[in-house]
Amino acid sequence: MGVEKGDRDVPEQDVTTGQLLLAEYESVKDEQKARIGFRDNLLYVTLAVVAAVIAAAAQAKQASMLLALPPVCVVLGWTYLVNDEKISAIGAYVRGELGPRLAQLAGTEGAFGWETVHRGDSRRASRKAIQCGIDLLAFCVVPLAGLVVYWAGGQVTGGLLAVSVLEALAVAGLGAQFLVYAGVFSSS
């Protein structure tokens, strides 16, 4: 039975702000977990596609087939990068918004300590740099190497040369975005 409030019955067991915040936390963490799995699988998909394209080009002895690498790597790399950014944004939201609000409601100093503690590891910067290098290798260096092989193969035609130059620019743009998101150009 509820308590009357105006013209409607309000249940005695209203949802509390803390319950809402915990439900939101569970929801964003579920999204974060799903995005992590998807992002990590993109790296494996990229490796498989790269291997398939290289094998097909080698078997057919057609260096022009390597021109498939840049668009595939740019699309998969961009998708990887966007998911990685959303994963980080969810963590920042939990640390900066949900955690403090829930801690305030609970009357404690902090909530979700792991969200902050794991970021204080002394090797975090080197791991981030290595991960950035791996991302650049998988999504940028490999397709650029494919373009170099195509250009050096001696069977370059005018139309495909123009396409390959545009592909090189797209890969370079993706590489720049990886560096921006990794914080290479930031002062902190």
H-helix or E-strand spanning residue 9: strand 8-10
Q: What SS3 class is residue 110?
A: coil
Pair of tokens at residue 139: 């999504």
What pLDDT, on a 0 to 100 scale, did the predictor assign at position 39?
A: 96
What does DSSP assign to residue 140? I
H-helix or E-strand spanning residue 5: strand 3-5
What pLDDT, on a 0 to 100 scale, did the predictor assign at position 51?
A: 98
What pLDDT, on a 0 to 100 scale, did the predictor assign at position 84?
A: 96
What pLDDT, on a 0 to 100 scale, did the predictor assign at position 140?
A: 98
Model pTM?
0.85
What pLDDT, on a 0 to 100 scale, did the predictor assign at position 108?
A: 87
Considering Cα of 20, then 22, then 24, then 30, what sign does the dihedral take?
Answer: negative
* Burial class of residue 169, CB neighbours in 10 A (0-12, 13-18, 19+): exposed
Residue 53 to residue 137: CA distance in whole angstroms: 16
- The whole-number mean pLDDT for each consecutive block of 10 residues of the chain, a chain of 188 residues, reads 55 78 94 96 96 97 96 98 96 93 88 81 89 96 97 91 97 97 72
CA distances from 97 to 44, 91, 128 (A): 33, 10, 24
What are the beta bridge partners of residue 10? 3
Residue 178 to residue 132: CA distance in whole angstroms: 7
Output Rg (C-alpha) for the chain, integer angstroms: 24
Helix ranges (H only) for the chain are 17-60, 69-93, 99-106, 114-117, 124-136, 142-152, 158-182
Residue 186 to residue 84: CA distance in whole angstroms: 18
